[in-house]
Amino acid sequence: MLTAVIRADDSPRALAATLSVLIPAVAEGFLGHAVIVDAAGASGIESIADTTGASYLHASCADAWRQGAGAARGEWLLLLDAGDVPQAHWTQAVQRHLLVAPERPALIPLRGAAGALRERAAISFGARRLRAGLVVPKSAVLAGRLARPPQRLPARRDRAS
């Protein structure tokens, strides 16, 4: 069972866009839980978490994913920022990865040239750091870094504003 850990910013609209894409994965039984970590304390974020049945945490931005991992029910986590919108069929790409290479973290990369360049730079300078788009074991998030660089998946994600 996969748990989504979502870092919320001050945009309830962006969070709603991310959650709306995750609903089919919940219906399929692939995504079992979501944890929304709110660093800004923005109004409306806790209400959205409550309405969707997600867990809500208020934590510092620097430690958001680690605290979210502590509250996660699943052993594999999908790390997202509010506004991340995985494209159609992302669940199939993640399921296949978990069957074929379960020992290695995976990355659902950003779509588009600008996002890809930012992400490739981040990989070059911090291949093992935690970042949005990763599918990782809970233990890696609790440790604060990846044991291995992630494998890029064929699915992509967009950014909603």
* Strands 31-38 vs 2-8: parallel, antiparallel or unpaired: parallel
Side-chain-side CA neighbours of 158 within 13 Å: the count stands at 9
Number of domains in the chain: 1
- Cite the beta strand spans of 75-147 per DSSP E: 76-81, 84-86, 106-107, 134-137
Percentages of the chain per state (helix, strand, coil), in multiples of 5: 40, 25, 35
Range of the domain at 114: 2-159
**Residue 136 near residue 76, CB atoms below 8 Å:** yes
pLDDT tens per residue, the chain (161 residues)? 899 999 998 789 999 999 999 989 999 999 999 999 998 776 789 999 999 999 999 987 778 999 999 999 999 999 999 999 999 899 999 999 999 999 899 999 998 766 666 666 555 555 678 999 999 999 999 999 898 889 999 999 998 86
Question: Tell me, what CATH number does 126's domain have?
Answer: 3.90.550.10
